[in-house]
Structure 1
Amino acid sequence: MATIEDHNEAVLSSLEPGDQVEFKGPHFNHWAVYIGDGFVIHLTSADGQSSSKTDKAIIRQDKIGDAANNRKMTKNNGKGEKYGLRPFSKSEIVERAKSQLGRKGYNLIARNCEHFVSWCCYDFEISDQVKEWTEIVAEMIANWIEERRNLEGL
């Protein structure tokens, strides 16, 4: 059976600079732009590992293995097709990512790692994860309101 490391090595061998890399997590996935030579640029905590230090998040360059942090990674360049967005050239994507190195700031809803990668590729900040979670929460609230109305006979 292939290990996560074996899987990630196979993915790494298929990457080209400018590709979007998604690292599968238990609750949220992490995103980065592959820039070549085994490195990515991503929005992450200052230490590059902790997701709990988001108040100190920064766009930084790291080895792809460090960014993976034992998570399975995939090449995911599909957002453009999904939303009808035309990506920049791969070299422009890398340059856009590099232009943001050192930028600080994080917001789960409006400025997370997926937003950053989307901006680098399409000049459009979108996070499918936020969209999906927002839809789930909205549905839960709508169901709660409906249950309250039924209980109160409205």
Structure 2
Amino acid sequence: MGNQMDRLSHLSYAEVPTVDPNGADAEDGPRIGVSYIFSNDDDELEEGGAVDGSERDPNQEEKQYDRRDEVECAVYNRHDCVYEKSARCCSLEVYSPENLLNKCKAGDLVEFVATGQYPHWAVYVGDFQVVHLHRAEVKNSFLTDAAQGRRCRIVNELYKFKALGSELVVQSAMEQVGLKDRELSWRNSECFAAWCRFGKREFKMGGEIRIGKQPYRLKILMSDKHTHVLEFQSLEDVIMEKRRNDHLGRTAVLQELAAHLNSVEETKKEPAED
């Protein structure tokens, strides 16, 4: 097997223990989230694959991006919120690549979004260009080319870490251009872009040891009064799950969670065997 890890498919919510669906953080009982230690983001899906993993028909009309289908969530490292996509963030204006160019500054994080696709992240480095992780290679592309027809927005504020200076962000991104395959230290475009802006090792593969208590929590807002929480051992794992939810969309995620919670409730109601 060498240095290559076998891929482990994502487990459904019904196959993993989770915390109380109402957000109560009880100390007893299993609370471990999905582990992506052997998994990689699907580059082909970042390029326009369908939700079920099949290739999208290039002749099929692209669905309009609908911000109402965004999954509102927050990520906590113990008690500190390190990421938040609130209703306000979900309502951030999305632009065509051409219109976004007038709003970008060097060092900004840009997110490209489309219905049924993983979000794709990039670092704007100036002169209408971005650096991004694409198809297992760090590339320097024109923003319009990297967008591939998707809408885009600036997402500097989603992560709560202190950003590096803009010159250092650009330098960090440009120094990685050309890295590919086994030279890479990031599983997806979001981890790469966030690492460039914040310089945190947690965004890199193996940046944190996955042993012992799970210090990260992904809190998914199901309604105004209800949340569902999963716990993870590393920020990298949280990001993989968060991106999967973004890929599915709010409606599908809530349906999946509802099915899981109903299954758990039915199991609790089953009479004990004599």
Q: TM-score, normalised by structure 1?
A: 0.71
Q: Which one-letter code corresponds to 1:97 in the other structure?
A: A
8 Å contact 2:109–2:156 — kept in the other structure?
yes
Identity of aligned residues (%): 27
1:100 and 1:153, CA in 2 relative to 1: closer, same or farther beyond 3 A?
farther
Offset at residue 144 of structure 1 (A)? 6.7
1:28 matched to 2:118? The reply is yes
1:117 matched to 2:117? The reply is no
Larger helix proportion, structure 1 or 2? 1
Offset at residue 7 of structure 1 (A)? 3.2
User: Which residue, 33, 41, 44 being the options, matches 2:134?
Assistant: 44
User: Which residue, 65, 75, 90 being the options, matches 2:144?
Assistant: 65
Structure 1: gaps (5+ residues): 1-5, 46-56
Q: SS at the partner of 2:105?
A: coil
Distance 2:260 2:181 in 1: 32
User: Which residue, 94, 107, 110 being the options, matches 1:18?
Assistant: 107
1:75 matched to 2:185? The reply is no
Which position in structure 2 is the counterpart of 1:149? 267
Q: Which one-letter code corresponds to 1:146 in the other structure?
A: V
Which position in structure 2 is the counterpart of 1:130? 240
Q: SS at the partner of 1:79?
A: coil
Which position in structure 1 is the counterpart of 2:175? 99
Structure 2: gaps (5+ residues): 1-94, 204-234, 246-252
Distance 1:140 1:41 in 2: 39
Distance 1:25 1:105 in 2: 26
Distance 1:145 1:97 in 2: 45
Number of equivalenced pairs: 132
Distance 1:37 1:66 in 2: 13
8 Å contact 1:105–1:111 — kept in the other structure?
no
Q: SS at the partner of 1:41?
A: strand
Offset at residue 75 of structure 1 (A)? 1.4
Offset at residue 90 of structure 1 (A)? 0.7
8 Å contact 1:21–1:75 — kept in the other structure?
yes
Distance 1:147 1:105 in 2: 44
RMSD over aligned CA atoms reads 3.1
Which position in structure 2 is the counterpart of 1:7? 96
Q: TM-score, normalised by structure 2?
A: 0.42
